Structure 1
Amino acid sequence: MPPQGNMDDSEQNPSRVRTTIGIDDKLPTSSFSSTAPTDDDDDEKFQYSLSAFEKIVNFLLCRCDLSDQVLEFKPVSLLQLFRFATPFDYILLLIGLVTSVISGVSQPVLAIISGRLTNVLLVVDPLSKEFKNKAMENVYIFLGLGIFVSLNDFLQYMCFQRVCSRMMTQMRNRYISSILRQNAGWFDKNLSGTITTRLNDNMERIQDGVGDKLGVLIRGISMVLTSVIISLVYEWRLALMMIGLIPVSTICMTLLSRFLEKSTANELENVGVAGAIAEEALMGVRTIQAFNGQEEMVAKYEEHLNSGKKHAIIGGFWSGFFGGLFFFWLMAFMGCGILYGGYLLKVGIIKSPGDVFIIVMAMLLGAYFLGLISPHLMVLLNARVAAASIYKTIDRVPKIDPYASGGKKLDKVVGRVTFRNVHFRYPTRKEAKVLNGLDLTVEPGTSVALVGHSGCGKSTSVGLLTRLYEPEDGTVQVDGVDVRDLNLEWLRNIVGIVQQEPILFNDTIHNNLLIGNTGASREKND
C-alpha cells in the first residue's frame, strides 16, 4: 500500500488503500532564517601548490609561468593513474614500456648504420668487390631494422591503446555509477553541465596520460639518452659540443607551445562568443526578422569572428617563428658539428669520417624528437590532476547512500506518514529556512493536498519522505519508523512518486515504466 506523491483521486485503485499527498502552488507561506548547519554535501575545498621538484621541472621546460600555479586537486601518483588496470593490463603496459624503449633506442642505431655506410662511400674503392659487399651488408641491416621497428611500434601502440581503452571504459562506468549514487543536495551544488564537462575534459586528459602519448614520451626520452651515450662513446669532445642542441631545441618548442596556448585560448574565447550569438540568432530568428535585426546580428557575429581571427594570425606568426628558429638551430649545430668533426678527423682524434656522421646524426635525431615531444611533457601532470578530480567523485560515499544494504524492511506497510517538528533548508540556500517545525500526519487511505507558493516546501516534504534530502531537525516516519532507519532501496520501492515535471528518457514508454522495476510485466504496467 505505497503512498503516492502528486496523484489524483481518480487514479486510486479501490481494491488497495493508498495514502496520497498532493501538491498545489497557490497559497503563500513564510520562510525563516537562522544559522545554517553544515552537511556532508559540502565537499572539502583546498588548494595544492606545486612541489619544489615539480617547479624545477617546469623551469627546465621553460614553463616558469606554471611554477606559481595553484591546483584545485593534489595530483595522484603515476602508479595511481592505472588504478583501474587489471593484471592483464599491467602485462600489456609492461610490453608497451619495453617496446617504447626499444623503439627509442633503435632510432639512434640508424645513425650508426648511416655512419658505416658513409665510411663505405668515402673510404672503400667504388670499383672493388669489398665496396659492393659492405654496401649491401648495411642495406640489409637497414631493411631488417626497418621491419623490426615497424612490428615493434605496432605492438607498442596496440598495447597502450588496449590498456587505455579498457581502463577508460572501467573508469567511466565507475564515475557514472558514483554520480548516480549521490544525493539531491550534492546535485544542487554540482550542476549537470559542470559534471558533463568535467567528465569529458578530465577523461580526455587522463587518456592522454595513459595512452599512446605516454609511449611517445618514453620513446623520446630513451632516444635522447641513447643518442647521448652513443655520441659520448664514439667521441666525447664532439658529443659535448652537439649536446647543446638538446636544451636549445627544447626551449624553442616549449616557448612555441606557451605562446600558442595563450593565442589559442583567446581565439577560442572569441569564437565561442560568436557561436553563442549565432545560436541565439537561430533560436530567435522570428524575433530578429520581425524587428529587421538581421544586419545588426551579422555585424555582432562578424566582430567577434574578426577578434578571433586576429589571435589566430598571432598564433600562426609564433608557430612560423619558433618552428623556423627550431630548424635554424638544427642546421646550425649540424654545420658546426661537421666542421668541428672534420677538424678532429684532420688532427687524428677521430679515425674515420663515418664516426663524425654517427655523432652528428645521433644528436640531431635525439634533439629533434625531444623538441617535438617537449610541449607534451606536461600531459602526465595534467593527467594526474584530472585523475585526482575523477577519483574524488568515485570515492565519495554520501550519507544518504542508495547502494547501502543496511536498514529495516517492514513486513507489512500500513501507509501512515508522519512529519514531526521537521526543519529543513536547501544546501544552496542555507540563509532561508524552507520548513520550520512542520507537524503533519497523513493517515492510511486518505488524500492530503499541500498548497502554497513555489519554494515553500511542498515538493521538499515529499523529497524528505523518500530521503532525497535529510531534515535539519525532526523526523519523517512511515508507520512509526524513522525513514533514516529504513533500507533506502526498499523505501523508494514502496513510495510511488509522480514528479511535477516528469522526464521521459530516450526510450519507449514501456521501458520508461520499467525503470527501477525491470521485471514488471506489461499487464502490471497497464
Structure 2
Amino acid sequence: MTRIHPSTESGVDVEDPVPELKKDKGLQEVTFSPPVYDDEDEDVPKQTYELSMFEKIINYILCRADLATQKLDNKPVSLLDLFRFANRTDWLLVVMGIICTICAGISQPLLALIAGRLTNVLLVYPPRSTTFRDKAYENVYILVGAGVFYLFINFFQYFLFQTVCNRIVSRIKRHYVASIIRQNAGWFDKHHSGTLTTTLNDNIDRIREGIGEKLGLLLRGIVMLIASLIVSFIYEWRLSFVMLGITPACCFAMSLLSERMESITFKEFDDVGKAGAIAEEAILGVRTVQACNGQEEMVERYSAELAKGKKFGIQKGYWSGLLGGLFFFFLLLFIGIGNLYGAWLLKVGVFTNPGDIFVCIFSMLVGAYFLGLASPHLMAVLNARVAAATIYQTIDRVPKIDVYSNEGERPPNPVGRVVFKDVHFRYPSRKNVKVLNGLNLVVEPGQTVALAAENPRLSGF
C-alpha cells in the first residue's frame, strides 16, 4: 500500500483521555511506532530475462525458434530448484527413480543383443538339429526374463517419479497459499483472486509435467541413446557411422511436429474457448434467451466460433500425418541403408555372423526412436522451469508488515487503546483517490466504534 507521511502542520494533537489507566500497575500501555515507508507496492520496472546461449541452442534443436528469441519476465529456475521443496525422503525416491530409469534405458539396447543372438540361431544352425532347439529355447528364456525385468523396472520408474511429483506439488501449493495470505492489502489491490488461482493452476500443471513422469522419460531416452551408441559401435563402427544420421533426422521430425501441434492447439483453444463462453452465457441466461426468442441467434453465434476452430483441427491432422509419416520414413530409410551396407560388410568378411548386423541396426533404431519421442518431454521440463520461477516469486515475497514474523516487541499485557493521528491512505492502483485524508480517531478500551462511509456499501464495523 502507499502511505503518505503525516504533515506536521496539519497534525492534530490528541490528549490522553484516560490517564488513570497508566496508574494501574496491572496494565501496561504500549505505543506502537510502525515504520513509515512510501510506495511499498508501487510498480517496479519489470526486468526481462533473455535466454542463455545454451537454452537458445536447445530451442533451435527442438525447432522452437520462437522460444529462442522470446524474453521472459522471470529467470527460469535451475533443474535442481524444481525440487526445492523436496525433503530427504523425496530425494531418496528421486535417486531410486533415476536408477530405475537408467536400468530401463540400458535394457532396451540389450534386447537388440538378444534379438541378434536369436537371429544367428535362425540363420546359422539347421532347424532340425539339437543345437538349434537348445539355442532357441535359451534365447526365448532370456527374452521372457528380460520382459519381466522390464515390466517391474518401468512400473517403479513411473511410480517413484509420480509419487515425488505429487508430494512436491502439494508442498508448493501449501507454501503458495500461505504466502498469499501473508501479503498486505496493497498487493491484493493489484493481484485479484481470479488471477492468483489461474496462475496457480496453470503453473502447477506445468511443474507437475516437468518433475513427473516426463522427466523420467526424458532421462530414459538420453540413457537409451548413449547405451545404443555404445552397443552399436562395439559391434561395428563403420555400420554405426552410417546409421548415426538417423538420430538427428528423427529428432528433427518429432521436434517440428511438437512445435506445430503446440502452436495450432493454442489457436484452436482460443476459438473453442470463445464458443464455450457463448454456451455458458446462453445456459446461465436461458430464461432471458427464451423470453427474447434468441435461441437461433445463440446457436448461430456458437456455430460461428466453432467453425473458426475447425480449420485448426484440420491443420493438426495434416501436420500430424505429414510429420509423423516423415518420422517413420527416416526410420525405414536408414534401416534399408543399414541392411544394404551391412550385407556388403558380411560379404567382404567384416561380419562373421548375420545377427551382428541386426544388433547394430536395431540398437541405433531404438535409440533414435525413443530420443525422437523425448523432445516433447524436454520442452515440458523447460516450461516447468519458467512456471516455477513465477510461483517461487510469489512464495519468496515477504511484505514489510509480515504477519508471520516473530521479530519486534511483544508486550505482556497491552491496553487495547487505538489512536489514529493524521492518517492518510490510498491504494496503489487508485493513486488519485484518497481513502483516508487526515484521519484522527481515539478508540478507548472496551469501546465499540462504527466507521461509516458516504456510500453505505463501503461502510465497515
Q: Sort the TM-score into its range (normalised by shorter chain).
A: 0.7 to 0.9
**1:435 Cα shift?**
2.2
Write out aligned runs for 1:371-450 (5 A). Answer: 371-405=372-406, 406-409=408-411, 411=413, 413=415, 416-443=417-444, 450=451
Q: What letter is aligned with 1:215?
A: G
**1:411 Cα shift?**
2.0
Aligned Cα root-mean-square deviation (Å): 2.0
Q: 2:112, 2:362 within 8 Å by CA — same for their partners in 1?
A: yes
Q: What letter is aligned with 1:108?
A: P
Deviations 1:170-223 (A, max 9, x none): 221111111111122111111111111111111111111111111111111111
Write out aligned runs for 1:116-127 (5 A). Answer: 116-127=117-128
Q: 1:208, 1:379 within 8 Å by CA — same for their partners in 2?
A: yes
- Which shifted more, 428-437 or 207-216? 428-437
Say whether 1:328 aligns with 2:333.
no
Could you say if the C-alpha distance between residues 150 and 41 of structure 1 is closer, same or farther in structure 2, counting changes exceeding 3 Å? farther
Q: 1:206, 1:386 within 8 Å by CA — same for their partners in 2?
A: yes
**1:295 Cα shift?**
0.8
- Does the residue aligned with 2:77 lie in a helix, a strand or coil? coil
State the percentage of identical aligned residues.
56
Q: 2:41, 2:428 within 8 Å by CA — same for their partners in 1?
A: no
Q: 1:107, 1:223 within 8 Å by CA — same for their partners in 2?
A: yes
Could you say if the C-alpha distance between residues 356 and 446 of structure 1 is closer, same or farther in structure 2, counting changes exceeding 3 Å? closer
Deviations 1:245-286 (A, max 9, x none): 111111111111111111111110001001111111112222
Q: 1:40, 1:399 within 8 Å by CA — same for their partners in 2?
A: no
Q: What letter is aligned with 1:438?
A: L
Distance 2:449 2:184 in 1: 26
- Does the residue aligned with 1:98 lie in a helix, a strand or coil? helix
Distance 2:252 2:243 in 1: 16
Could you say if the C-alpha distance between residues 131 and 181 of structure 1 is closer, same or farther in structure 2, counting changes exceeding 3 Å? same
Deviations 1:323-343 (A, max 9, x none): 111111111111111111111
Aligned to 1:285: 286
Q: 1:73, 1:388 within 8 Å by CA — same for their partners in 2?
A: yes
- Does the residue aligned with 2:438 lie in a helix, a strand or coil? strand
Distance 1:446 1:345 in 2: 101
Write out aligned runs for 1:186-335 (5 A). Answer: 186-335=187-336
Q: What letter is aligned with 1:330?
A: L
Distance 1:179 1:391 in 2: 12
Distance 1:156 1:447 in 2: 63
Distance 1:149 1:449 in 2: 72
Q: 1:40, 1:398 within 8 Å by CA — same for their partners in 2?
A: no
Could you say if the C-alpha distance between residues 449 and 227 of structure 1 is closer, same or farther in structure 2, counting changes exceeding 3 Å? closer
Distance 1:351 1:454 in 2: 95
- Does the residue aligned with 1:74 lie in a helix, a strand or coil? coil
Aligned to 2:179: 178
Could you say if the C-alpha distance between residues 295 and 216 of structure 1 is closer, same or farther in structure 2, counting changes exceeding 3 Å? same
The structure that is helix-richer by fraction is 2
**1:417 Cα shift?**
3.6
Aligned to 1:55: 56
Aligned to 1:113: 114
Aligned to 2:147: 146
Distance 1:196 1:440 in 2: 37
Gaps of 5+ in 2: 1-36
Distance 1:147 1:77 in 2: 36
Distance 1:276 1:347 in 2: 70
**1:404 Cα shift?**
2.2
Distance 1:443 1:89 in 2: 53
Given the two structures, how large is their TM-score scaled by the length of structure 2?
0.87
Distance 1:448 1:127 in 2: 104
Aligned to 2:34: none
- Does the residue aligned with 1:423 lie in a helix, a strand or coil? strand
Q: 2:419, 2:440 within 8 Å by CA — same for their partners in 1?
A: yes
Q: 1:97, 1:215 within 8 Å by CA — same for their partners in 2?
A: yes
Distance 1:90 1:373 in 2: 23
**1:43 Cα shift?**
6.0
Distance 2:442 2:342 in 1: 96
Distance 2:414 2:82 in 1: 49
**1:409 Cα shift?**
3.7
Deviations 1:218-248 (A, max 9, x none): 1111111111111111111111111111111
Distance 1:411 1:199 in 2: 41
Distance 1:448 1:101 in 2: 69
Q: 2:346, 2:352 within 8 Å by CA — same for their partners in 1?
A: yes
- Does the residue aligned with 2:352 lie in a helix, a strand or coil? coil
Say whether 1:99 aligns with 2:94.
no
Could you say if the C-alpha distance between residues 44 and 177 of structure 1 is closer, same or farther in structure 2, counting changes exceeding 3 Å? farther
Distance 2:271 2:133 in 1: 63
- Which shifted more, 353-362 or 170-179? 170-179
Q: 2:217, 2:377 within 8 Å by CA — same for their partners in 1?
A: no
**1:41 Cα shift?**
6.4
Aligned length in residues: 424
Q: What letter is aligned with 1:432?
A: V
Could you say if the C-alpha distance between residues 302 and 232 of structure 1 is closer, same or farther in structure 2, counting changes exceeding 3 Å? same
- Which shifted more, 283-292 or 337-346? 283-292
Q: 2:206, 2:380 within 8 Å by CA — same for their partners in 1?
A: yes
Distance 1:407 1:295 in 2: 68
**1:388 Cα shift?**
1.4
Say whether 1:70 aligns with 2:71.
yes
**1:89 Cα shift?**
1.5
Distance 2:71 2:251 in 1: 25
Q: What letter is aligned with 1:411?
A: N
Aligned to 1:132: 133
- Does the residue aligned with 2:39 lie in a helix, a strand or coil? coil
Distance 1:391 1:41 in 2: 20
Say whether 1:39 aligns with 2:40.
yes
- Does the residue aligned with 2:110 lie in a helix, a strand or coil? helix
Q: 1:434, 1:455 within 8 Å by CA — same for their partners in 2?
A: no
Distance 2:449 2:369 in 1: 77
Q: 2:215, 2:377 within 8 Å by CA — same for their partners in 1?
A: no
Distance 1:435 1:180 in 2: 24
Distance 1:455 1:214 in 2: 55
Aligned to 2:83: 82
Gaps of 5+ in 1: 1-35, 463-497, 499-526
